[in-house]
Structure 1
Amino acid sequence: MNGQVGGGKNNAAIGLWLLLLVAVVGCHAPDAVIPSAGPAPVPVVTTPPSVSLTVPFVYVGSYDNHLYALDTTNGAVRWSFRADTSIHSSPVVAYGMVYVGSNDYSLYALDAATGTRRWTFRTGAAVYSSPTVVDGRLFVGSQDGTLYALDATTGSLLWVLNTSFGLASRVYGLYSSPAVLNGMVYIGGQDNDVYAVDAATGRLRWRFRTQGHILSSPIAVGNTVYIGSSDKRLYALYAATGTRRWAFATDEIIYASPVVANGVVYVGSYDNNLYALDAATGTVRWRFRTNTSIYASPVVVGNLVYLASRDHSLYVIDAATGRGNQLFQANYDLYATPLVTGGTVYVGSNDTRFYAIDRSSGRVRWSFQTGGVIVSSPVLAQRNKTVGIYPTISGAK
Structure 2
Amino acid sequence: MPSTFTRRHALKTLTAGATLMATGGVPAFAEDQTKPTPLAAPTESSWASFRHGPAQQGVAKTTLSKQPELKWELKSRDGWVATCAIVGDHVYAPALQGYLYCLHKATGKEIWKYRSIDDPDEKKFAPGFKAAPLVTASAVYVGDEDGILHAVDRKTGKRLWKFVSDAEIAGGVAKYGNELLLASHDSKLYGISEAGKETWSFQTDDMINCSPAVAENFTFLSGCDTQLRVIDLKTHEEVRNVPLESQLIASPAIMGDLLYVGSHAGELVAVNWKTGEIDWRYVGDRELPYHSSAAVTKDLVLVGNHDKLMHAVDRKTGKARWTFATKARIESSPAIVDDRVFFGSGDGNIYGLSLADGAEVWKFNAGKAVNAGIAIGEGCMVVGEDDHNGRLRCFA
Q: TM-score, normalised by structure 1?
A: 0.76
Pick from 89, 92, 106: which aligns with 2:99?
Answer: 106
* 1:267-306, Cα deviation, whole Å (9 max, x unpaired): 1111211111112122111111132111111111112211
Q: Write the letter of the residue equivalent to 1:155.
A: G
**CA positional deviation for 1:381:** 3.4
* 2:368 counterpart residue number: 372
How far off is 1:251 after superposition? 2.0
User: 202, 206, 219: which is aligned to 1:208?
Assistant: 202
2:359 aligned residue: 363
Report the residue type matching 1:175 in the other structure: A
CA distance in 2, matches of 1:129, 1:73: 29
Q: Does 1:334 align with 2:336?
A: no
Instruction: State the Cα deviation string for residues 9-30 of structure 1 (Å, max 9, x = none).
Output: xxxxxx8x63526999xxxxxx
Q: Distance in 1 between matches of 2:289 and 2:128?
A: 25
Q: SS of the counterpart of 2:207?
A: coil
Per-residue deviation, residues 217-264 of structure 1 (Å, max 9, x unmatched): 111111111011111111111113421111111121100000111111
User: Which aligned pairs between 1:61-100 and structure 2 lie closer than 5 A?
Assistant: 72-100=65-93
Name the structure with the higher helix share: 1
Q: 2:148 aligns with which of 146, 161, 185?
A: 146
Distance 1:118 1:150 in 2: 14
1:48 corresponds to which residue?
39
Letter in 2 for 1:287: R
CA distance in 2, matches of 1:371, 1:19: 27
1:1-397 to structure 2, matched below 5 A, reads 18-20=3-5, 48-49=39-40, 72-123=65-116, 124-164=126-166, 172-198=167-193, 200-290=194-284, 291=286, 292-382=288-378
Q: Structure 1 residues 78, 383: closer, same or farther in 2, change over 3 A?
A: closer
- SS at 1:311's partner residue? coil
Do the aligned partners of residues 50 and 193 (structure 1) sit closer, same or farther apart at CA in structure 2, a change above 3 Å counting? closer
TM-score by length of 2: 0.77
**Kindly tell me: are residues 93 and 22 of structure 1, through their superposed partners in 2, closer, same or farther at Cα, counting changes over 3 Å?**
closer
Distance 1:366 1:383, change over 3 A: closer
Q: Tell me the amino acid that sits aligned with residue 83 of structure 1.
A: S
User: In 2, distance between residues paired with 1:181 and 1:254?
Assistant: 23
Separation in structure 2 between the aligned mates of residue 276 and residue 346 of structure 1, nearest angstrom: 22
Aligned pair in 2 of structure 1 residues 72, 21: CA closer, same or farther (>3 Å)? farther
1:39 corresponds to: none
- Shift of residue 72, structure 1, vs aligned partner: 4.1
Distance, in Å, in 1 between the alignment partners of 2:114 and 2:355 is 38
Unmatched 5+ stretches in structure 1? 1-14, 25-46, 55-70, 165-171, 386-397
Decide whether the 8 Å contact of 2:8 with 2:127 is kept in 1: no
Does the residue aligned with 1:18 lie in a helix, a strand or coil? coil
> Which amino acid in structure 1 is aligned with residue 79 of structure 2?
S
C-alpha deviation, 1:188, in angstroms: 1.1
The CA deviation string for residues 79-108 of structure 1, in whole angstroms up to 9 with x for no partner, is 011223210110110131011111101111
Does the 8 A contact of 1:250 with 1:271 survive in 2? no
Runs of 4 or more above 4 Å deviation:
21-24, 50-54
CA drift at 1:361: 2.8
Does the residue aligned with 1:335 lie in a helix, a strand or coil? coil
Q: Is the 8 A contact 1:177 1:217 kept in 2?
A: yes
Contact kept, 8 Å, 1:273 with 1:289, in 2: the verdict is yes
Secondary structure of the residue aligned to 1:334 is coil
Residue 313 of structure 1 and its aligned partner are, at CA, apart by 1.1
Q: Distance in 1 between matches of 2:238 and 2:202?
A: 8
Runs of at least 5 residues in structure 2 that lack an aligned partner in the other structure: 10-37, 46-63, 117-125, 382-396
Counterpart residue identity of residue 39, structure 2 = P
Partner secondary structure for residue 5 of structure 2: helix
The 1:225–1:51 alpha-carbon spacing in structure 2 relative to 1, beyond 3 Å, is closer
* 8 A contact 2:334–2:342 mirrored in 1: yes
2:115 aligned partner, one-letter code: R
Q: Name the structure 2 match of 1:62.
A: none
Moved more, 250-259 or 319-328: 319-328
SS in 2 for 1:326: strand
Count how many residue pairs are aligned between Structure 1 and Structure 2: 325
